[in-house]
Amino acid sequence: MTAAARIVAAGGPASLSRFRGALVGAVLGDCLGGDFEGAEDVPLDRVLQHLQDDTRGDGTLQYSDDTAMLRCVAQSLLNRAGFDEQDMARRFAKEYSLAPGRGYGAGVIQVLKKLASPQLSDVYQPARAQFGGRGSFGNGGAMRAAPFALAFKNPAEVKRCSRLGATLTHSCAIGYNGAVLQALAVHLSLQGVLATPQEFINKLISEMEEVENDETARSDARALNESEFPFCTRLHKVKEMVERNSVSIEEVISELGNGIAALHSVPTAIFCVMHCLEPREGLPEQYGGFERTIAYSLALGGDTDTIACMAGAIAGAHYGVDSVPQTWQRCCEGAVEADSLAEHLHNMYHRTPSDGDGVSVSSSNEKRSHSSTQQPKQTD
Ligand SMILES: [Mg+2]
How many angstroms is it from 124 CA to the middle of ligand 1?
22
Q: Report the alpha-carbon distance of residue 284 to residue 280 in Å, rounded.
A: 8
Kindly report, residue by residue over 159-205, the tens digit of the pLDDT: 999 999 999 999 999 999 999 999 999 999 999 999 999 999 999 99
How many angstroms is it from 215 CA to the middle of ligand 1?
31
What pLDDT does residue 368 have?
A: 37
Q: What phi, psi does 358 have (nearest 5°)?
A: 80, 175
What pLDDT does residue 346 have?
A: 98
CATH code for the domain defined by 10-353: 1.10.4080.10
Predicted confidence (pLDDT) at residue 373 exceeds the cutoff of 60: no
Predicted confidence (pLDDT) at residue 34 exceeds the cutoff of 80: yes
pTM: predicted TM-score of the whole model, two decimal places: 0.92
How many angstroms is it from 190 CA to the middle of ligand 1?
24
* Cβ count within 10 A of residue 331: 21
Assign 94 a pLDDT band (cuts: 50, 70, 90): very high
Residue 53 labelled as part of a binding site: no
What pLDDT does residue 210 have?
A: 98
What pLDDT does residue 354 have?
A: 63
How many angstroms is it from 269 CA to the middle of ligand 1?
15
How many angstroms is it from 9 CA to the middle of ligand 1?
30
Q: Report the alpha-carbon distance of residue 10 to residue 91 in Å, rounded.
A: 32
Predicted confidence (pLDDT) at residue 125 exceeds the cutoff of 80: yes
Predicted confidence (pLDDT) at residue 296 exceeds the cutoff of 80: yes
Q: Report the alpha-carbon distance of residue 24 to residue 18 in Å, rounded.
A: 10
What pLDDT does residue 8 have?
A: 54
Q: Report the alpha-carbon distance of residue 88 to residue 124 in Å, rounded.
A: 11
Kindly report, residue by residue over 236-248, the tens digit of the pLDDT: 999 999 999 789 9
What pLDDT does residue 72 have?
A: 98
Buried b (16+ CB within 10 A) or exposed e, 288-314: bbbbbbbbbbbbbbbbbbbbbbbbbbb
Residue 65 labelled as part of a binding site: yes
Assign 353 a pLDDT band (cuts: 50, 70, 90): confident
How many angstroms is it from 33 CA to the middle of ligand 1?
9
CA angle, residues 82, 176, 74, in degrees to nearest 5 = 30
How many angstroms is it from 288 CA to the middle of ligand 1?
25
Predicted confidence (pLDDT) at residue 41 exceeds the cutoff of 90: no
What pLDDT does residue 54 have?
A: 83
4-13, 71-80, 364-373 — which is least confidently predicted? 364-373
* Cβ count within 10 A of residue 40: 9
Interacting residues of 19 by C-beta distance below 8 A, sequence separation 6+: 150, 190, 317, 342, 343, 345, 346, 349
Q: Report the alpha-carbon distance of residue 377 to residue 380 in Å, rounded.
A: 9
How many angstroms is it from 144 CA to the middle of ligand 1?
10
How many angstroms is it from 65 CA to the middle of ligand 1?
5
Q: Report the alpha-carbon distance of residue 110 to residue 220 in Å, rounded.
A: 22
What pLDDT does residue 364 have?
A: 38
Q: Report the alpha-carbon distance of residue 330 to residue 314 in Å, rounded.
A: 20
Cα atoms in the Cβ-side hemisphere of radius 13 Å centred on 134: 13
Predicted confidence (pLDDT) at residue 5 exceeds the cutoff of 80: no
Burial degree of 244 (CB within 10 A; 0-12, 13-18, 19+): exposed
Kindly report, residue by residue over 259-284, the tens digit of the pLDDT: 999 999 999 999 999 999 999 999 99
Residue 306 labelled as part of a binding site: yes
Sequential DSSP letters for 248-313: -HHHHHHHH--SSBGGGTHHHHHHHHHHTTS--TTS-TT--HHHHHHHHHHHT-SSHHHHHHHHHH
How many angstroms is it from 293 CA to the middle of ligand 1?
18
Kindly report, residue by residue over 55-65, the tens digit of the pLDDT: 898 989 999 99
How many angstroms is it from 303 CA to the middle of ligand 1?
8
